[in-house]
Amino acid sequence: MYAVDISSIKDYNFQVKANNYAITIDAAGQGVSPLDALLAGLGTCVGVYVRKYLEGAKLSQIEFNIRVESELVKESPMRFKQIKVSIDLKTDKFDENRRKALFEFVKNCPAHNTLKNDPEIDFLIA
């Protein structure tokens, strides 16, 4: 099971605890915003799957960067309409077949699958 605990620090600052670690999310523009964190979660999950693919292909020494970007749709319901994930492989060792295989492999990322499959979200007030 995955779970995070979130505490209100002050105004729009929140401390997020997961396992033995904590990060601060700031919705007022003084740091990583909640929507930045959502995109970062997707991007890092994709990064894990890129790394797994590279290890399986015996190319684990390859470094890469990932950029995740989107714009908010302002009308109701406010949301990201489209999310673009760009993987910059810093190598020329990838032909078209290997690129296609990588794209198919990274689509197994649970964050990607969650966003693509319209998860049910329940709200409770304790």
pLDDT, one tens digit per residue, over 13-33 is: 999 999 999 999 999 988 899
How far is residue 60's CA from residue 16's CA, in Å, rounded to a whole number? Answer: 31
Q: Show the tokens assigned to 93.
A: 């060792």
Find the mean pLDDT for residues 36-44: 97
Contact 78, 57 (CB under 8 A): no
- Model-level pTM greater than 0.85? yes
Residue 109: its pLDDT value, please?
A: 97
Q: Decide if 10 contacts 3 (C-beta within 8 A).
A: no
Cβ pair 27, 58 in contact under 8 A: no
Beta bridge partners of 72: 80
Checking if the pLDDT of 3 tops 90, the result is yes
Could you report the per-residue pLDDT of 51-109, keeping only the tens digit for each?
999 999 998 888 999 999 999 998 999 999 999 999 999 888 788 999 999 999 999 99
Question: What confidence score (pLDDT) does residue 31 get?
Answer: 85
Q: How confident is the model at residue 34 (pLDDT cuts 50, 70, 90)?
A: very high
